[in-house]
Amino acid sequence: MKLFDVYPLFDITPVKGQAAYVFDEKGERYLDFYGGHAVISIGHSHPHFTNALKSQIDKMIFYSNSVQNPLQKQLVEKLGKLSGCEDYQLFLTNSGAESNENALKIASFHNNRTKVLSFKNCFHGRTSAAVNITDNPKVVAPINKGFESVMTDFNDIEAAVSVIEKGDCTAVIIEGIQGVGGIHVANEDFLIAIKEACHKTNTVLILDEVQSGFARTGHFFAYQKVKGFEPDIVSMAKGMGNGFPVGGVLIHHKFKPSYGLLGTTFGGNHLACTAALAVLEVIEEESILSNVQKVGAYLLSQLKEINEIKSIRGEGLMLGLDFGKPVADLRKKLVFEAKIFTGSAKDGNTIRLLPPLNIGKQEVDTLIDGLKKCI
């Protein structure tokens, strides 16, 4: 048998991870400014995280959602407290796409509509509904086109509001910061305007924080830079489990649950809850939010000194470096010569930086040296 060959691979085989570094089978060390695609939030093999998982493995890995699971209760309490979203309800999933899929279902159950507004350059995942509202026709199969989806320009208030005000959308879905699309930040005015239009028309506002959530931007969720802003639903995954597959949706208290409305076999299993809890404990104990703000500001100041970078977008430790020309060769040089992993973006001119959130100035200096040598 062969693997279904859908991933272009770098010829590197990481076998071990430690903090901000991964090591290949020859012992070569790589600085991880990609975080396995924004997944590694508290660092590779963080001892608190691995010990929590090891001890849970010895007790119980999984039982179904038909019995009490105290770990889910601990998780919901801790997440509510740290995110400031105590008024929301939590439904646990296994991935980002599945979180968005459930978010869209809740919206459609709520207002009985099917049309969705999303934004150019967005990425929401590859499952059936999530991919139909993603801006990449190449990954949308005919079977995915089961409902009407509309896309307007990101940050274009007039265009978005005129679609929402027609009153026939079930939901508007927006990334707090567009990730795959090349790191584009949603303007405060834009978020406020679409929220108001949604409120007027009983349209559900979904904030996709799969990539930008869990402290990555220096706020727990990227949208929280707008004081008092309350989306109807927030979807999460990636950094939530630091590499263990876990996702979730935060659902505003105005949506009432009923038995069987949503469900999953694996979502909220014992190991997944342990992983997410351990991540939250580290975020709290190691003051990760303030580290992201501090190190993010230092990283930005150092990047601004590099003239070849035409623009820098993003917040905290979620940055896009636009070189105004293709960056594929530069990324290769960074990996093979400087031994630094970075992320690509849909536009081809942008390098994405998505390092673990507990890096320090030393890792930033190594990146800056590597960039200067490879440019």
Binding site for ligand PLP (CB under 6 A): 95-97, 100, 123-125, 175, 179-180, 208, 210-211, 237
Report the nearest approach of ligand PLP to the CB of residue 96 (Å): 2
The smaller minimum CB distance to ligand PLP, of residues 122 and 163, is found at 122
Shortest spacing between CB 256 and ligand PLP, in angstroms? 26
Judged by beta carbon, residue 39 or residue 71, the one nearer ligand PLP is 39
Of 225 and 333, nearer to ligand PLP (C-beta) is 225
Nearer to ligand PLP, 144 or 366 (CB): 144
Nearer to ligand PLP by Cβ, of 105 and 333: the residue is 105
In the chain, which residue ranges form alpha helices assigned H by DSSP? Answer: 35-38, 47-59, 70-83, 96-111, 128-132, 157-164, 188-201, 270-285, 288-303, 328-336, 361-374
DSSP 199-219: HHHTPEEEEE-TTTTTTTTSS
Question: Nearest approach, Cβ of 258 to ligand PLP (angstroms)?
Answer: 26
CA-based R_g, the chain, Å: 20
Least distance from ligand PLP to the Cβ atom of residue 179, Å: 4
Residue with tokens 């990227």: 222
Shortest CB 20 distance to ligand PLP, Å: 20
- Residue 224 DSSP class: G
Nearer CB in complex with ligand PLP: 98/363? 98
Nearest residue to ligand PLP on Cβ basis: 96
Report the nearest approach of ligand PLP to the CB of residue 134 (Å): 8
Q: CA 72, CA 268: separation in Å to the nearest integer? A: 7
Residue pair 183/149 in contact (Cβ under 8 Å)? The answer is no
Token digits for 50?
A: 């691995």
Distance (Å, whole) CA 300 – CA 364 = 10
Going by the DSSP 8-state scheme, the letter that residue 337 receives in this structure is T
